[in-house]
Structure 1
Amino acid sequence: MTEFTHINSNGEANMVDVSHKQESVREARAEAFVTMSPDTLNMIISGRHHKGDVFATARIAGIQAAKRTWELIPLCHPLLLAKVEVSLTALPESNRVRIESLCKLSGKTGVEMEALTAASVAALTIYDMCKAVQKDMIISDIRLLEKSGGKSGHFIAEK
């Protein structure tokens, strides 16, 4: 098992020094799900939600969140993201919305946390916009799907 990189020799949390690392193209994808009632999902899909376009708002929120991850997660580096994409897919057969995020840059550190933050905040935004009509929605299965670049190489989550 590899060592924790955010713990120094004294056992204290610290920000990893990436100044010696080589720049490389780094990319990460993450997903999250929001489960809701068929009525709530139908309201979103049909555009009848009184707050407007839920998916468009969640998409923008996810993009903004990725760009601000370093302000939210204490030991994350501020990154110059080259691309952030958030896609939302209604899954009526399971009464869920699937959110997938993609973050990409050329830099010295990975973008996994940015992708995870984008998916998470997009899910939270769906909850926020729909809580007036349903309070028992479930946000679940937030996970890293894939990452590439850097010393640790390519990772793909099992299905």
Structure 2
Amino acid sequence: MESWVPLLDIFLNSPCPETEASRWFHHSFDASSTPTITTNSFLSLLSKPSEAIVIDSSSPSHTSTPHSKRVMWIQTLPNAVQFRILSFLALEHSRFCARDLTKLARNMLSGADELDFWVKKAAHQVLDTMSESNYEWVSCLNLDSDEERVENEFESLPNWLKDEAINANDLLL
């Protein structure tokens, strides 16, 4: 956990956390870096189960009783920090295991009712960046030939005008 304190400080205090966190990751994974700092260990920290005390805000304060709930460690952080971390993960998704990132985002969205709007958007962004589409289905549509045909039709004369041009001995404009 101590090795991640500088990164978490960036997410808490930086005006541009994605860029600074990317720089921190780049410098931390040089040849001289310690083996305890890995992208996998960061995702493990974020998804680590934690006990959180939850107070139901929908019920009146005198009848609400706090209860403990098992959540991921990232969910114990303030919403703004969760958003910044997820934004960073979407930006630097190539550094992380696709399966683990997808799992983290899906687990975050599984409790979507309690999620902040921006946290939910960032989790969706992680999933969107992780979905790979090879667009092979587009190549089978043969769109180039249709475009050329439409262009040729546009530049050509209408049939009724072609017939007039053939029948007339004079030039047509």
TM-score, length of structure 2 as denominator length: 0.25
Q: Which of the two has greater strand per residue?
A: 1
Q: Which of the two has greater helix per residue?
A: 2
TM-score, length of structure 1 as denominator length: 0.27
